[in-house]
Amino acid sequence: MSRNIIVEQIHQTPVESQKIELVERKGVGHPDSLADGIADSISRALCVEYLKRFGVLMHHNTDQVEIVGGKAEPKFGGGQIISPIYILLSGRATTIVDDELVPVHKIAIHAAKEYLDRTLRNLDVENDVVIDSRISQGSTDLMDVFKRAHVIPLANDTSFGVGFAPFTDVERLALETEKEINSDRFKDRFPESGEDVKVMGLREGDKITLTIANAMVAKYIPDLDHYRSVKEEMTYTIEDLASSITDREVEVNINTGDDYDRGSVYLTVTGTSAEMGDDGSVGRGNRANGLITPNRLMSLEAAAGKNPVNHTGKMYNLISNQIAHSIVTAVEGVREVYVKILSQIGRPIDHPKVASVQLILDDSVSIESIKPKVESIVDLHLSDIKKVTDMVIKGELTTF
């Protein structure tokens, strides 16, 4: 059966040439990203357990994680947690197979704690967090769709995924700035910097402004002078990074809500705003490519925590981005590419209802000359879609 791949040329102003561009990246310690990360960690842990016990992956979707902010009292040189962060783990999973019970709650809570411990350097997971698992058995019809797959899984939903390429300067800046701030080398130099980072990029013509919110860790900051000095050094570091990514003018602003005259600055005990009233939910942050891009096509799908076997809301968002980047890498004359893939419940996931590719081309390139190559790239990726499952389980692909 041939795949329904539609390739067309579109005529619109590429994002890089538009006057205004907005890009957002929520860092790994942001409450929404923490919810995404926990959801995916639980899914991966369940996949490993199912393979170990039964040799196959079982149905699950652990994409319902809610983080309820606690109460903290940070102050220069330290502070304390007054009320712990509360995390509710919800969703569906296969809890029993042939009369063998799977300890889903134990697996989920352990995975959540491990993820928090890896991600937040200054959080005492045992004392500053309460984790409650309410994951229950999946619905009968979706489990049946899961079981009916023989070689190629059958889609368990009618949903779509989108991807685009290449990234603009602002998109790369937003992504790489957060990754740099949360890198080991940055934290070794600036332990004062917490993991809760939000980068907002604005391009007006050829001027880029990066507004960065970074939850600072109070125990490493003895006074206001130290805070100001560290923030200044961090700004210089990000400016150096920006100069390696773009030739455009870049202005970097960190924690613009600070009021030095009043002594009011962004201090936390743990490095995340989840400690004090800021909540988080799966799917409320970055899209599957790690960015929030209002100038681009986006799916509202909460990909994190969905099973990496037949949930097309996850699989198609991941593979759409892979396809888009493959096209701009392999095909000359493509300025921008947008990929939209739609599933139909019960249909093999390697044969979507439609795979749409829209291209913005250089004037010297005709759609007829590149269409066969583009179609073959899409076809190749879809034929090897199960590779995405393996990459997700191994932690080689992220959804946020």
Strand partners, 89: 65, 133
Residue 260 scores a pLDDT above 60: yes
Residue 140 scores a pLDDT above 80: no
- What CATH number corresponds to the domain at position 218? 3.30.300.340
What pTM was estimated for this model as a whole?
A: 0.94
pLDDT of amino acid 176:
98
Decide if 149 is inside a domain: no
| CA pair distance 186, 188, nearest whole angstrom | 5
Residue 64 scores a pLDDT above 80: yes
Instruction: Please check whether residues 181 and 324 belong to one and the same domain.
Output: no
Instruction: Please check whether residues 292 and 276 belong to one and the same domain.
Output: no
Residue 28 per-residue DSSP state: T
Instruction: Please check whether residues 163 and 309 belong to one and the same domain.
Output: yes
Instruction: Please check whether residues 291 and 261 belong to one and the same domain.
Output: no
HEC secondary structure over 44-88: HHHHHHHHHHHCCCCCEEEEEEEEECCEEEEECCEEEEEECEEEE
- What CATH number corresponds to the domain at position 14? 3.30.300.280
Total number of domains in the chain: 3
Instruction: Please check whether residues 305 and 276 belong to one and the same domain.
Output: no
| CA pair distance 364, 202, nearest whole angstrom | 31
Decide if 117 is inside a domain: yes
- What CATH number corresponds to the domain at position 108? 3.30.300.10
pLDDT of amino acid 139:
59
Instruction: Please check whether residues 163 and 288 belong to one and the same domain.
Output: yes
pLDDT of amino acid 90:
97
Instruction: Please check whether residues 40 and 132 belong to one and the same domain.
Output: yes
Mean model confidence pLDDT for the chain? 95
Decide if 400 is inside a domain: no
Decide if 97 is inside a domain: yes
Closest by alpha carbon to 352, among 197, 175, 155?
A: 155
Instruction: Please check whether residues 306 and 162 belong to one and the same domain.
Output: yes
Give the mean model confidence (pLDDT) for residues 2-12.
96
3-state secondary structure of 361: strand
Quick check: 81 and 126 in contact, CB under 8 A?
Answer: no
Query: In the listed set 240, 262, 281, which residue is the last one of a domain according to the structure?
Result: 281
pLDDT exceeding 90 applies to what percent of the chain?
Answer: 94
Q: 30-61, pLDDT tens digit by residue?
A: 999 999 999 999 999 999 999 999 999 999 99
Decide if 152 is inside a domain: no
Instruction: Please check whether residues 389 and 327 belong to one and the same domain.
Output: yes
Instruction: Provide the domain limits for residue 35.
Output: 31-71+82-144
Instruction: Please check whether residues 175 and 137 belong to one and the same domain.
Output: no
Torsion-angle region of 83 (φ positive above 0: left; ψ -120 to 50: alpha; else: beta): beta
Decide if 24 is inside a domain: no
Instruction: Please check whether residues 226 and 296 belong to one and the same domain.
Output: no
Query: In the listed set 253, 281, 309, which residue is the last one of a domain according to the structure?
Result: 281
pLDDT bucket at 144, cuts 50 / 70 / 90:
low
Q: 343-376, pLDDT tens digit by residue?
A: 999 999 999 999 999 999 999 999 999 999 999 9
Q: 148-164, pLDDT tens digit by residue?
A: 555 799 999 999 999 99
Instruction: Please check whether residues 185 and 214 belong to one and the same domain.
Output: yes
pLDDT of amino acid 137:
87
pLDDT bucket at 277, cuts 50 / 70 / 90:
confident
Query: In the listed set 229, 253, 281, which residue is the last one of a domain according to the structure?
Result: 281
Decide if 25 is inside a domain: no
pLDDT of amino acid 157:
92
Decide if 234 is inside a domain: yes
Residue 143 scores a pLDDT above 60: no
